[in-house]
């Protein structure tokens, strides 16, 4: 067991201290920080935007008071009182536009002229003036303000989303449902990113000594089992270190900036602790099981490579399988009840990508969830022992044949070793 931990420790220290690991950890943080910084900059820029200089041509004092309020962000030019003066000021670029509002009884005649500076404001101006015109007509008809409000009151629709569990209806929380869906989406992206990253790392680790032809020396002091699982556990600890760094940075950043207006504007309507509970539930199980499953597969394919140059070719099948699972997961995101989504949610190689979306959509019972979890974990254990068996037989095999040829040769060696053990036992 001490040899196993020596191998694990060396693999962990070598990868964590490498420049590549530092870059791998920093790049996502830099990208996320860049987009958050840009969002913060644009939000501050929108808050500090200068008032638009406009002219208001009207004889209605109420309208003048309404458009002079801060919510419009207008700088009304009080010295401009005629349309001709407004046209001259617009031509001289003294103002960016002007409004001409003529009130004829209970009807409003409105004209907005601008140099493409009020395009976003025109719908709001139209809505405000429509409400004002409604009030004018209500006064003409001697209607009380409460009567006007009753005429324009919107219909209240009480929406209740339910899920059918064992033939009974259970009310669903839509905010919780959205958290589940986007948690599943985030987990699918994270699984894909970690598979792409750590499949290559574990394959290189397993094939490294084999490619340098020093495996005979290593196996003289440590068994193939210790070597294989030492490499696997070491790389898994590197992966957990990266996850831990992201969790620590994210928690620290949230605690430090949580009271700022920018952060409150983003997460103010969401239950952060509820989101974390969802991530710590089924989605976290599928994340760990999914990444570990593909990492073990990468270790198996990496053991088939006889040179470091062949590692990328060896892990190519894993990348394509993961891409297929990712796109099936995106399909399940939109159609969680489709037959294809249901079937692939129980296929271990695709379960981590598909099942979280079915859970979020409430289309699978608890029994089905645990069936998929047990199947995924069982398949992961199975391929771990199969990979170990092949690794023991092909760790000293140096062949220039293709991957299928290497697998056939490893199988033949396994059969020969098994027969030899039976013969010695007899």
Query: Which run of H or of E encompasses 363?
Result: none
Residue 177 banded pLDDT, cuts 50, 70, 90: low
Out of 183-187, 225-229, 327-331, 376-380, the most confident range is: 376-380
What confidence score (pLDDT) does residue 401 get? Answer: 60
Mean pLDDT of all residues in 385-410: 69
Q: Assess whether pLDDT exceeds 70 at residue 159.
A: no
Query: Which run of H or of E encompasses 201?
Result: helix 174-211
Measured from the Cβ of residue 174, the count of other Cβ atoms closer than 10 Å reads: 10
Going by C-alpha positions, the residue among 79, 78, 83 that lies closest to residue 99 is 83
CA distance 210 to 188: 33
What confidence score (pLDDT) does residue 400 get? Answer: 60
pLDDT, greater one: 168 or 321: 321
pLDDT, greater one: 393 or 194: 194
Mean pLDDT of all residues in 335-346: 86
What confidence score (pLDDT) does residue 132 get? Answer: 79
Residue 278 tokens read as 């969802």
Q: Assess whether pLDDT exceeds 80 at residue 126.
A: yes
What is the residue-averaged pLDDT of the chain? 76
Residue % of the chain over a pLDDT of 70 = 69
Residue 326 banded pLDDT, cuts 50, 70, 90: confident
Going by C-alpha positions, the residue among 177, 185, 384 that lies closest to residue 295 is 384
Taking only the tens place, the pLDDT of each residue in 246-295 is 888 888 877 777 676 656 665 555 555 655 565 567 778 888 888 888 88
Mean pLDDT of all residues in 358-371: 82
pLDDT, greater one: 168 or 15: 15
Going by C-alpha positions, the residue among 347, 352, 353, 312 that lies closest to residue 331 is 353
What confidence score (pLDDT) does residue 398 get? Answer: 60
What confidence score (pLDDT) does residue 306 get? Answer: 66
CA distance 191 to 355: 13
Q: Assess whether pLDDT exceeds 70 at residue 33.
A: yes
Please check whether residue 379 is in contact with residue 404, taking contact to mean a CB–CB distance below 8 angstroms.
no
Domain boundaries, the chain: 54-152, 173-425
pLDDT, greater one: 166 or 137: 137
Mean pLDDT of all residues in 389-408: 66
Q: Could you give the dihedral angle defined by the CA atoms of residues 299, 303, 304 and 309, in that order, rounded to the nearest 10 degrees?
A: 90
Q: What are phi and psi of 175, to 5 degrees?
A: -65, -40
What confidence score (pLDDT) does residue 410 get? Answer: 66
Q: Assess whether pLDDT exceeds 80 at residue 70.
A: no
Measured from the Cβ of residue 182, the count of other Cβ atoms closer than 10 Å reads: 14
pLDDT, greater one: 30 or 118: 30
What confidence score (pLDDT) does residue 114 get? Answer: 83
CA distance 249 to 238: 17
What confidence score (pLDDT) does residue 289 get? Answer: 86
What confidence score (pLDDT) does residue 211 get? Answer: 56
Taking only the tens place, the pLDDT of each residue in 299-316 is 877 777 766 677 777 778
Taking only the tens place, the pLDDT of each residue in 72-107 is 778 788 888 888 888 888 888 888 888 888 876 667
Please check whether residue 310 is in contact with residue 366, taking contact to mean a CB–CB distance below 8 angstroms.
no
What confidence score (pLDDT) does residue 215 get? Answer: 59
Residue 395 banded pLDDT, cuts 50, 70, 90: low
Mean pLDDT of all residues in 370-387: 88
pTM of this prediction?
0.66
What are the C-alpha distances in Å from 18 to residues 25, 65, 121, 154, 243? 11, 66, 54, 62, 17
What confidence score (pLDDT) does residue 151 get? Answer: 64
Q: What are phi and psi of 115, to 5 degrees?
A: -95, 55
May I ask the CATH class of domain 54-152?
alpha beta
What confidence score (pLDDT) does residue 367 get? Answer: 87
What confidence score (pLDDT) does residue 216 get? Answer: 57
Residue 153 banded pLDDT, cuts 50, 70, 90: low
């Amino acid at each position: 067991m001490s040899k196993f931990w020596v191998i694990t420790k060396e693999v962990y220290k070598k990868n964590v201290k490498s420049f590549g690991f530092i870059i791998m950890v920093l790049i996502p943080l830099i990208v996320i920080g860049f987009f958050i910084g840009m969002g913060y900059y644009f939000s501050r820029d929108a808050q500090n935007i200068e008032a638009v200089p406009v002219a208001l041509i009207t004889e209605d004092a109420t309208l003048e008071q309404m458009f002079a309020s801060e919510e419009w962000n207008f700088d009304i030019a009080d010295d401009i009182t005629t349309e001709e003066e407004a046209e001259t000021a617009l031509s001289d670029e003294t103002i960016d536009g002007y409004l001409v509002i003529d009130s004829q009884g209970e009807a409003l005649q409105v004209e907005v002229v601008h140099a493409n500076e009020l395009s976003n404001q025109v719908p709001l101006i139209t809505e405000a003036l429509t409400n004002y015109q409604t009030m004018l007509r209500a006064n003409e008809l001697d209607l009380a303000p409460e009567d006007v409000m009753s005429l324009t009151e919107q219909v209240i629709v009480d929406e209740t989303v339910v899920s059918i569990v064992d033939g009974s209806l259970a009310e669903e929380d839509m905010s919780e449902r959205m958290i589940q869906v986007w948690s599943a989406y985030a987990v699918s992206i994270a699984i894909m990113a970690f598979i792409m990253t750590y499949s290559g790392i574990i394959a290189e680790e397993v094939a490294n000594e084999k490619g340098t032809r020093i495996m005979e020396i290593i196996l003289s002091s440590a068994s193939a089992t210790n070597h294989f699982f030492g490499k696997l556990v070491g790389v898994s600890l590197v992966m957990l270190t990266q996850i831990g760094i992201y969790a620590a940075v994210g928690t620290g950043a949230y605690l430090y900036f949580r009271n700022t207006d920018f952060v409150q504007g983003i997460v103010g309507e969401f239950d952060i602790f509820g989101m974390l509970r969802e991530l710590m539930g089924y989605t976290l199980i599928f994340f760990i099981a999914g990444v570990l499953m593909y990492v073990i597969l990468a270790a198996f394919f990496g053991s088939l490579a006889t040179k470091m140059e062949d590692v990328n070719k060896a892990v190519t099948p894993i990348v394509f399988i993961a891409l297929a699972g990712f796109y099936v997961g995106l399909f399940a995101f939109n159609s969680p009840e489709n037959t294809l989504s249901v079937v692939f949610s129980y296929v271990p190689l695709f379960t981590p990508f598909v099942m979280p979306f079915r859970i979020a959509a409430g289309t699978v019972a608890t029994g089905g969830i645990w069936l998929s979890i047990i199947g995924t974990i069982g398949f992961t254990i199975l391929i771990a022992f199969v990979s170990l068996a092949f690794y023991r037989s092909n760790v000293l095999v140096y062949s220039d044949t293709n991957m299928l040829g290497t697998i056939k040769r490893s199988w033949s060696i396994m059969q020969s070793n098994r027969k030899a053990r039976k013969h010695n036992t007899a």
